[in-house]
Structure 1
Amino acid sequence: MRITIDERQDAQDTEVAITCKKVDAHILGIIARLRMYDRKITGTASNATHIVNAEDILYVESVDKHTFFYTAHCVYETQLRLYEMEERLTDCDFVRISKGCLVNFRTIVSLRPDINGRIIATLEGGDQVVISRQYAPIVRRKLGM
């Protein structure tokens, strides 16, 4: 891979152009990381509103009609519903793993089969989430299995 930077004084915004022979999983991963770089999500913790980079979010969970997202160091509540978070984060490599949970695919460290076709995913930092039987094929396909 070759990286070329073209610095221009008259540039209005940063532009990233990818030239490749074929769009494959590697290229799609690069695109997802670039999209994640600029994506911000707001959440509340300790009676304060925080702005969090999407890349720092490990997973998003809906519990009793409340939506929470988890980072390595904190849990935030957001006013967005889970499907709204999914819409905002899908192009950033977040994947639905159950009816009430999305996971940042980049933070998965290991996968372990569980009973009834479920999968236990261990994330960076040691958190574990359950990939339901219904969503397990999507994760396997994403891994090329």
Structure 2
Amino acid sequence: MAQSNWGRKVMAAQGYMAHRRQIEVGLWTLFFSVQWLAQFAVASLENRDGDRGFQSWEFLVWEGSSILMLALLLPLLLAWDRHFPLQKGVVGRNLAIHLLLTLPWSLLHVVGMVAMRTAIYHLEGGSYNFGHWPAELFYEYLKDFRTYCLLLGIIYLYRFLLVQLQRKTHLPGRPEVGEPAAPVKRPERFLVKKLGKEFLVNVQDIEWVEAAGNYVNLHLSGRVYPLRDTMAKLLDRLDPDSFVRVHRSYIVRLNFIAEIEPLESGDARIHLENGQQIPVSRRYRDQLRAQVAPA
């Protein structure tokens, strides 16, 4: 029974991943719709006596234009996060960049929603007055700063949950019973030289590897260590249960893979847990699938 329940959970998780993009669009649409209705309800209750001289449709337009602009700006926020991910080694620098990006984010939000409101009021035969721009911009920025942080937090929380779901769908089956294979001795660490110094790099800390001429760059926790080696020779020295080659120029540690995104070209793209994206060529795609989800 427990195995059956586990199987149903895995099938449900695989179903979610198969329709992930459509579900994500639906969830974001639901999120912004609820925000719109909730803010409209609050504004209407505050004006339930009509003593402020505004009509209900005006609150609907105000809140709707604001929420719609936030929805339109969401892809921009995602693009900024791809360029400045909050990952180990660069979190401080990129967090400061995100704080600066709240300024153009707020400005775009305000300009866009004011343009929408002005157009709608014009169609109604009236005019829209945003108020004193310096004061209103500062007021809107305080709200937009909070919203930016909220959306970014939701994105990272969702990615964390997605990683857990991805792991659930790719759990390897039980190993077959048989004679144990002879253990293969593999290095636990590499000695690399960088900036005139020598460093010991633990193999278990390597997240991904990139070819660089006569060297390979070992990436771990936002740092890069060059090792004089070829991709083929390095792969022979790495544990095949932990590392997989996905491109002639890239090797990835399996435990750091958060998502495999298929592309229309037949290639794919790997999203690591730290937000890094790695290309997967068609030549290595089947091998990747076999190692991620062995039969």
Same fold (TM over 0.5): yes
Aligned 1:25-104 pairs, distance under 5 A: 39-91=188-240, 93-104=242-253
Query: CA deviation digits over 1:20-44, x for unaligned, max 9?
Result: xx625xxxxxx9xxx88x7112223
Deviating above 3 A after TM superposition, structure 1's stretches of 4 or more consecutive aligned residues are none
User: How big is the shift at 1:78?
Assistant: 0.4
Identify the structure with the greater strand proportion: 1
CA contact (8 A) 2:192 2:200 kept: yes
| One of 175, 198, 203 as aligned partner of 1:23 | 175
Q: How many residues align?
A: 114
CA contact (8 A) 1:118 1:136 kept: yes
Output the CA distance in 2 between the equivalents of 1:54 and 1:124: 18
| One of 265, 274, 284 as aligned partner of 1:125 | 274
In structure 2, relative to structure 1, the CA distance for the partners of 1:92 and 1:49 (3 Å cut) is farther
Output the CA distance in 2 between the equivalents of 1:64 and 1:44: 16
What letter matches 1:103 in structure 2?
A: V
Output the CA distance in 1 between the equivalents of 2:292 and 2:279: 16
Structure number with larger C-alpha Rg: 2
TM-score by length of 1: 0.68
CA contact (8 A) 1:45 1:75 kept: no
What letter matches 1:133 in structure 2?
A: R
In structure 2, relative to structure 1, the CA distance for the partners of 1:72 and 1:115 (3 Å cut) is farther
SS in 2 for 1:117: coil
Output the CA distance in 2 between the equivalents of 1:79 and 1:63: 9
Output the CA distance in 2 between the equivalents of 1:139 and 1:91: 11
User: How big is the shift at 1:92?
Assistant: 5.1
Aligned-pair RMSD on alpha carbons? 2.4
Query: CA deviation digits over 1:30-85, x for unaligned, max 9?
Result: x9xxx88x711222333322111111101111123321111113101001222221
Unpaired stretches in structure 2, ≥5 consecutive residues: 1-173, 177-182
CA contact (8 A) 1:118 1:131 kept: yes
SS in 2 for 1:97: strand
1:134 pairs with 2:286: no
What letter matches 2:278 in structure 1?
A: V
What letter matches 2:292 in structure 1?
A: L
Output the CA distance in 2 between the equivalents of 1:23 and 1:112: 28
Output the CA distance in 2 between the equivalents of 1:139 and 1:44: 31
1:114 pairs with 2:263: yes
Identify the structure with the greater helix proportion: 2
